[in-house]
Amino acid sequence: MRDFGSLLTPPTKTKEAQAFVDNIKKATADMERNSSESPPNIFNRDITLDEIKKITDKSKNNKAPGLDSITYECLKNTTSAKALMVLFNRCLKDGLVPDVWTKGIIILYPKAVVVTRGSP
């Protein structure tokens, strides 16, 4: 799987550049086929309650909450979905996000040490 940096960095080779452009065209065509709106309108309209519900319903239960201590189970009801919709649309309109969204918890798990015969 490709990392996000390679997706955002334009390729330098001609063959890679053409593949990059082809992927963008395919993604745009897929969006047009799956929506009655043109791509610019897709990105400039408000987030809908149905979109929020679709994402929260796909989220797995019994997962650890983040810094805000909110679990996925809490987000799956209609009241929470409406609050998220209002919050997300306000963030997009104002161009600002809460500070807590810029922080995360990272837990490093060391790899198991494999001891082979003859290693020190």
Task: Spell out the domain ranges in the chain.
Answer: 1-45, 46-95
pLDDT of residue 3: 52
Query: How many other C-beta atoms lie within 10 A of the C-beta of residue 92?
Result: 15
Judge whether 48 and 85 are in contact, CB under 8 Å: yes
Give the pLDDT confidence of 30-70 residue by residue, as tens digits. 766 766 655 566 677 899 999 999 988 888 899 888 777 88
Q: How far is CA 20 from CA 4, 16, 39, in A?
A: 14, 6, 18
Average pLDDT over residues 94-102: 82
